[in-house]
Structure 1
Amino acid sequence: MSDVLAYSVPAPAVVFPPMSPAPRVVPIAVQAPRKDTLGCTACSMRSICMPQGLTPTELQRIEALICPSRTIKQGETIYRANDSFQSIYVVRVGSFKTVVMHRDGREQVTGFHLAGDSLGLDGVCSGHHNCDAIALEDSKMCIIPFHLLEAMCREVKAVQQHVHRMMGGEIVRESSQMMLLGTMSAEQRVATFLLNLSDRLRMRGYSPAEFYLRMTREEIGSYLGIKLETVSRMLSKFQRDGLLDAHGKNIRILDHDGLVRV
């Protein structure tokens, strides 16, 4: 299970207003190649979202096809279900959730994405997106036109392998989510969520033991297939058992091995 989300404790708390049924869609137009000084070379997420082993020339080529990073305000949507698939989006700063809507209007969270993660691969198969991608906070993202990326894949093996790994990661994520929803108890789901979150933060250079959740407990419950009251009850249980210390959205893991044993 890979799509969980948080930042380290020093980040300021954010109060999330109720999400509107139809978040505003930000028009994302393909712009001129990147000319800003904060290109991929200077980006702290380069080791996560960029292919490894590129030559300086290849790095310049891939930077040239990435559109300048865009700022997306909290609650704004970069694409919605049934929108035409044009680009892959990489989170540079901030966080997003992906959701699908049930016929009765209920929202089902299908993933959480943070810096270094890619969005939009759901559109490769059909040519249309099958979910909404909504910013959980003010964020920045890089936009990669897919037809340009495909052309570079044919010429640079490292880029082709990286795209294959991205697609393979989506398969692993979905299979892990099916196992989580189909075989785990509510207690195990919440523990797995926190452990995966801890691991992802460690990979990004943040504290794996102390972090601030960027999603609501209701959104966590939607993703894990349980009610928000159950999420709160499990967090309280873990706190009583000495596994973690939770104050609102601030989480401190006290016993990592204990969470693993849940």
Structure 2
Amino acid sequence: MDVHRIKVACSGCNLRELCLPMGLNPDEMDKLDHLVSTRKRIKRGDALFSAGDSFTSLYAVRSGFFKTRVTSPDGRDQVTGFQMAGEIIGLDGIVNDRHSCDAVALEDAEVCVMPFDEVEALSREFTTLQHHVHRIMSREIVRDHSVMLLLGSMRAEERLAAFLLNLVQRLQARGFSPSEFNLRMTREEIGSYLGMKLETVSRTFSKFVDDGVIEVKQRYVHIKDTEALRRIVNPQTCG
């Protein structure tokens, strides 16, 4: 893992609107630039941090994709989320000062390191940052609730449709196509996240293709009918 101790100017980063609060004055922006002074590069398959590691920092994903996972007592891995550029990883470590999951790069990636003690100190100094950190935490709670809904009450087709819609929405917010993307994760990883067997994931992808909803070529996905995916997730009730 290469560690580059170089100046990272948040003020000039094209992801600042995604991972930093809006409305900071120049002095506050300069202090944030000083806070985020280190980047880490993580090769595909390597862990940014692992369960049990001491918690010291939050990480803003600058490029690449990650998955977070936990391991059950009998050795089975459970994927708990996928993170992309502009999102924050590491919040799991706040409660016990140790990370409770692994964060593994799904492709070569780069993160900005934000030492948490410095984040806390700056948050006390200007409330805009404090509010932003609280929003990030709240977003993680809401995301956890959404996953619980996926796992608890949705059929396989609804789970995969909701997953694809969420993924393309997040990619679109980063300037990517609203209908075409490459999956960074395997179907097995998608199944682990959605609580579905590998064959069920593959069968559901095939059904979407047969129904003309999506086009799939290996990891390339083209959503041909976004409204059809939305109808799968939220079917119209008869009046």
Q: TM-score, normalised by structure 2?
A: 0.94
Equivalent residue for 1:248, pick from 208, 211, 218: 218
Aligned to 2:167: 197
Listed one character per residue, the Cα deviations across residues 14-41 of structure 1 (whole Å, up to 9, x for unaligned) are xxxxxxxxxxxx597xx86x525xx212
Q: What is the alpha-carbon distance in structure 2 between the residues aligned to residue 230 and residue 211 of structure 1?
A: 21
Matched ranges for 1:224-235 at <5 A: 224-235=194-205
Equivalent residue for 2:130, pick from 157, 160, 177: 160
Aligned to 1:216: 186
Equivalent residue for 1:131, pick from 93, 101, 109: 101
Aligned to 1:99: 69
Aligned to 2:36: 66
**How far did residue 78 of structure 1 move?**
1.4
User: What letter corresponds to residue 91 of structure 1 in structure 2?
Assistant: V
Q: TM-score, normalised by structure 1?
A: 0.86
Q: What is the alpha-carbon distance in structure 1 between the residues aligned to residue 205 and residue 198 of structure 2?
A: 11
Q: What is the alpha-carbon distance in structure 2 between the residues aligned to residue 93 and residue 83 of structure 1?
A: 23
Q: Percent identity?
A: 51
Aligned to 1:122: 92
2:53–2:99 CA contact under 8 A, matched in 1: yes
**How far did residue 67 of structure 1 move?**
2.8
Aligned to 1:79: 49
Provide the alpha-carbon RMSD of the alignment. Answer: 1.4
Between structures 1 and 2, the one with greater helix share: 2
Q: What is the alpha-carbon distance in structure 1 between the residues aligned to residue 180 and residue 149 of structure 2?
A: 27
Q: What is the alpha-carbon distance in structure 2 between the residues aligned to residue 215 and residue 139 of structure 1?
A: 14
1:27–1:78 CA contact under 8 A, matched in 2: no
Q: What is the alpha-carbon distance in structure 2 between the residues aligned to residue 114 and residue 95 of structure 1?
A: 5
More RCO (CA 8 Å, sep 6+)? 1
Listed one character per residue, the Cα deviations across residues 201-244 of structure 1 (whole Å, up to 9, x for unaligned) are 11111001000000000000000000111111111101111111
Q: What is the alpha-carbon distance in structure 1 between the residues aligned to residue 218 and residue 199 of structure 2?
A: 14
**How far did residue 246 of structure 1 move?**
0.7
**How far did residue 126 of structure 1 move?**
1.3
**How far did residue 146 of structure 1 move?**
0.3
Equivalent residue for 2:21, pick from 17, 33, 51: 51
Aligned to 2:7: 35
2:2–2:42 CA contact under 8 A, matched in 1: no
User: What letter corresponds to residue 45 of structure 1 in structure 2?
Assistant: L
Q: Which runs of 4+ in 1 moved over 2 A?
A: none
Unaligned 5+ residue runs, structure 1? Answer: 1-25
**How far did residue 102 of structure 1 move?**
1.3
Unaligned 5+ residue runs, structure 2? Answer: 233-239
**How far did residue 57 of structure 1 move?**
1.2
User: What letter corresponds to residue 193 of structure 2 in structure 1?
Assistant: Y
Q: Secondary structure at the match of 2:125?
A: coil
